Amino acid sequence: MTTPSGPSDADMEDYYRRFLPFRYLFQWLSHSPKVTTDFTKREIAYELRGDIYQRYQSYGSEKEFKQAVEKSNPLRFEIGAIYNVFPKDRKVLPKSALKPVAKELNFDIDLTDYDPIRTCCQDKAICRKCWKFIKVASNIIDTALRDDFGFKHILWVFSGRRGAHCWVSDARARNLDDLSRQALIAYFDVLGGEKRIKKPYHPALERAFEICKLEFDEIILHEQDPWNTKTKATPHIDANVEELLEFMPEKELRDALKAKWDKTPSSSLDKWKDINKVAAELFGKNKFKLTSVIDAKKDIIIRYLYPRLDVNVSRQLNHLLKSPFCIHPATGNVCVPFDPFHSLLDEDPTDYGFDPVTSPKLAEIQQEAENNKSSSSDAWDATSLKPYVAYFGKFVTNLYKEELHDRKRSADDDAGEDDLMF
């Protein structure tokens, strides 16, 4: 049973034996229904009990992979790079022999990075309200990856507690070297440490702003209400208000707003309206100053809702990341994939297709399997995991079908060149 300290050894053994969709994980990592070197030269790493970390494991088949996971019974396992040699042989090879050659492009969003502005939860806690930050961030990143870079095979996965991981699985993405990955993440890392964002906005940032603007009123002004000194007065809120004032482009505007807010505590919505009202009173028809206020408000919207990324996860080929469908060792949540735009469930009470509060948990799927008298190695089919596994299976099938098509086309092109030889 799952305890406050996480799932038991027996729970994890049961999960690996009956629920984890090894077949789809294998096909995803192999980029084929059959064994390829993309799988056999892939690093798998284990986090074991007693703070033991086991790296550079690799396997020759799906069966060998499944047997190894069941035997090791890890707290979780992570996916690493594809290497030029078999990672398991590294101890008998020169140190310089093992080199990463390919890996999915990853993005990592953690709600802890939103703690300065989320008021509903802090630290490890999460709710439907603050998950909306992930909703906006995944929308922005997914759209840019597809529209600006042409990637198609993008998988979003719940981290199991308070975040989301993105796996870009296209061959072009997997083959990016470290310098290319660093350049690509720099494209997304627009916030930096400066309050002011370079003008004019890049077209991609303008598109992101339009996404943020649609959600700003609901998420920031109403639900999070981070500048509310009327009913939420705390040092945390006071710091947020000071930051809001720092965005204002003119000292006289900052001073006037501060005096007004010090005198009359107000909500975030009221403060947002005050900015326009006080600016109009101070600057009249001075278009330059009024435009600078509009630009400042755009920067605020971006600053509060644009993705906050752990850029180190994206920069290097050999960075490890927790596998989809792992169990979070502290919460017992299954790290299920989700669609950032559509619900995977037939009936979803939210306006967004994933709810971290009600997502599958190990204890729940065990009970569901027992109720349905399912003891097979694909017991997920009789549980609330089913739509998530089906979604992953479809993603994997689309990926390896395209890879097969591209390999055939490449082979045909090579054959055509040979036909022209004299």
* 3-class DSSP string for 307-331: CCECCHHHHCCCCCEECCCCECCCC
Virtual CA dihedral for 139, 401, 64, 53, nearest 10 degrees? -20
DSSP assignment letter at 197: P
Catalytic (active site) residue 194:
no
Catalytic (active site) residue 225:
no
* Distance (Å, whole) CA 92 – CA 98: 11
| The one catalytic residue among 11, 38, 43, 225 | 43
- Adjacent-strand bridge partners of 154: 168
* Distance (Å, whole) CA 406 – CA 117: 45
Contact 164, 138 (CB under 8 A): yes
Find all residues with CB under 8 Å of 83, minimum gap 6, and list them: 41, 42, 43, 58, 98, 99, 100, 101
| The one catalytic residue among 11, 78, 110, 364 | 110
Find all residues with CB under 8 Å of 3, minimum gap 6, and list them: none
Specify the 3-state DSSP secondary structure of 256.
helix
* Distance (Å, whole) CA 274 – CA 277: 5
Q: What angle do CA 45, 103, 391 make, to 5 degrees?
A: 85
Angle at which helices 9-18 and 362-371 cross, to 10°: 60
Scan for tokens 């953690």, then name that residue: 110
| The one catalytic residue among 11, 38, 78, 108 | 108
Scan for tokens 């590294």, then name that residue: 90
Cα-based distances in Å from 106 to 16, 193, 202, 404: 25, 23, 23, 23
Catalytic (active site) residue 108:
yes
Cα-based distances in Å from 303 to 142, 208, 337: 19, 11, 27
Catalytic sites, residue numbers = 43, 108, 110
